[in-house]
Structure 1
């Protein structure tokens, strides 16, 4: 029974993490006029180049969409990645 509870908890966590990442990609699609693949690539590159876990970068981008605030390192790298994909940097 404990094994099933652990598996269930892991699956719930995976579903939540996936939803957060999808939401962040949606923000990038809207802000940067990106395709879904480009949104994923931008999210992944920001994570790798700032050494911040992908899930955390996704949370920060979602928070930025709500508050207009994004920490310096992630904001700078996001601007660079959006420019790399031929899109204007965000203005919030």
Structure 2
């Protein structure tokens, strides 16, 4: 026998809630990648790699790292250990690592942990 109508409705509601969470999480990560692109002067793929590296090196879920990056963008506040990991990851994946990329820093908003950052 199959599921009852209330069971099917409950299962569908749970699935919809999971999909909503996934979409929200994806949006947060995409926005954080955008910040890495703008402030770290990296490509979107490099921005993704930066966030992934920070997540792996700090053992913090990528979505939470993305949320911290967005808070940093709004308030200028970021935990020092995250700032240090972001700086290291940007150094690994930044423009100097891109063939034909800039080897000199370009003036603009400072990246996390870099001189002049909040």
Report the TM-score, using the length of structure 2 for normalisation: 0.74
Unaligned runs of 5+ in 1: none
Aligned to 2:65: 57
Give the total of aligned pairs: 92
Question: What is the aligned counterpart of 1:16 among 24, 27, 32?
Answer: 24
**CA displacement, residues 13-71 of structure 1 (integer Å, 9 cap, x when unaligned):** 00000000000000100001110100000000000001111000000000000011110
Q: Name the structure, 1 or 2, with higher relative contact order (CA <8 Å, separation 6+).
A: 1
Bigger CA radius of gyration: 2
Distance 2:43 2:88 in 1: 17
Aligned to 2:101: none
Which 4+ residue blocks in structure 1 deviate beyond 4 angstroms?
none
- Answer 1 or 2: which has greater helix percent: 1
Aligned to 1:40: 48
Q: SS of the counterpart of 2:78? A: coil
Unaligned runs of 5+ in 2: 1-8, 96-104, 112-116
Task: Compute the displacement of 1:86 (Å).
Answer: 3.6
